[in-house]
Amino acid sequence: MGKIQIKKKDIWIDMTPMSDVMTLLLCFFMLTSTFLTPEPVKVNTPGSVSQVKVPENDVLNILVSPEGHIYVGSENRNTMNDMLDEVGYTIAATYDSNHDEA
């Protein structure tokens, strides 16, 4: 008994609709995406690596912007307030001693 041979046809799929959909999706996502907002102050970090371990407690962060603004921050409010009071007394004493001589 002989086997029946089924003729195989070449399958051709039209890719034009898929490329159209992909182009539309690409345009949609490009037009609806949001750009990154610029940083308020540009920070230049040093390029070297230090071997000294930075303490994790009672750290005072001081940032000076190119415009001359000074930002001070700390996790411990009591330490920061004490430090700011001490700096204020030191600046006031320096200011008074400079103006007494003039």
Q: Decide: pTM greater than 0.95.
A: no
Model pLDDT for residues 53-100, shown as the tens digit of each residue: 777 777 777 888 888 887 877 777 777 777 777 777 776 666 666 665
Whether 58 contacts 80, CB under 8 Å: no
Model pLDDT for residues 13-39, shown as the tens digit of each residue: 888 899 999 999 999 999 998 877 777
Which distant-in-sequence residues (6+ apart) come within 8 Å of 66 by Cβ?
Answer: 41, 42
**In what helix (H) or strand (E) does residue 43 lie, and over which residues does it extend?**
none
Residue 84: predicted pLDDT:
75
